[in-house]
Structure 1
Amino acid sequence: PGTGKTRTIIALISLLLLYACKLLVCAPSNAAVDEIMRRLVRPPAEGGGVYDKRGALCAPNVLRLGPGFHNDLRPWTLASALASQNLDRDGAMSLQNSLIERANIICCTLSIAGSSALVNSGAEFDVVIIDEASQGVELSTLIPLRSKCKSMVLVGDPRQLPPTVLSRLVLQMRYNVSLFQRLESLQYRMCLLATQYRMHPVISRFSSEE
């Protein structure tokens, strides 16, 4: 922890948007998705947003899908946009598809990446970015691939908490091994963030050894 994984994700998003990429940003938990959302929607004057071609911060067109979001992010959610309009079923569906199509960045949990709202919209993404990838079971990590993405980036720390699995049977079948961990075990090429910024090196060393 503290090596700048989320900051790296924001920098990657900034770079990909310069190439007009449409992005799907996911994580296993709502908390992780919300943290990325906050950094994207925070006013540029407060250090939020993404970098444009001139290196200046600007606000991206981002949309949060699914329930479980923190209330401070409500203005950027699909649910809020639909609730503000008095539309019939067809009208709501049309608006929903339009909002998803116009957004440069869609943020949601891994499970919501397979929701009817996203699947029925027909949206296709150039890149899928998955944060906390080491905490998601492998099958959940595969859900965003339904978007027919061209590339997928996994971000995580295999030394932190593994996926939560309660069944002893599936534990025996190694269902608690994430795709991130499996790729690491196969010596798939990874980019290591080796500098820790969150705490004094002595504290970091103690927690690592313990």
Structure 2
Amino acid sequence: MARRGEALREHILDTAKLAFLEDGFERTSMDALAARAETSKRSLYAHFPTKDALFLAVVERIRVLFGARMGAPAEYSAHPPEAVVRYCGRFVQLLRWSSVARMLRLGIAEADRLPDLAAGLHDAVFGATADALASHLVASSGLPADQAEVAANELIGLAIHPTLPRLLFGIEPLVDEMPEENRLETDVDLDRIRRLLHTVMPPTAA
């Protein structure tokens, strides 16, 4: 049965995401995408008038999917500091997933030509994660919003270093399958993040 409407749009987005990851943005043509999605060029252009518009929509889809895989910090533990630790650990864990790391590499590669789209990808992964963590810190620790924002960004930055640059440069291998949350303690050094939390948070809030 032929896909139509929203089902076709989501199928095109999923197909485009895989094509961009495999072939890069520049080498992926709209003709090839239409063939790969098993739809007509007319249908493809009806949903996405340009390849840039399609890439922007892929970024927005990544925002939704990545946010759902991260969840909210409070879901990780009833103990607020431990919820922060495990939330940051899950972020590190997901960055090792090839689907995420390769999309970040793609955003970096296109940053000069498509700065707004690259910035959107950064916000979809890093910005949204930091915002959720900052909101949690406000609610659970009573930090003012501006202090919570600074603490969230600093903690995430420390937690992902040096793992992220090593992943981006291919020094550490990527994980082909999406990492399962139940392997968090095996995959990530949570004790390190606990130590980082105490260095970042004010003594009255840690």
Q: TM-score by structure 1 length?
A: 0.23
Whichever structure has more helix as a proportion of its residues is 2
TM-score normalised by L of structure 2? 0.24
Higher strand share: 1
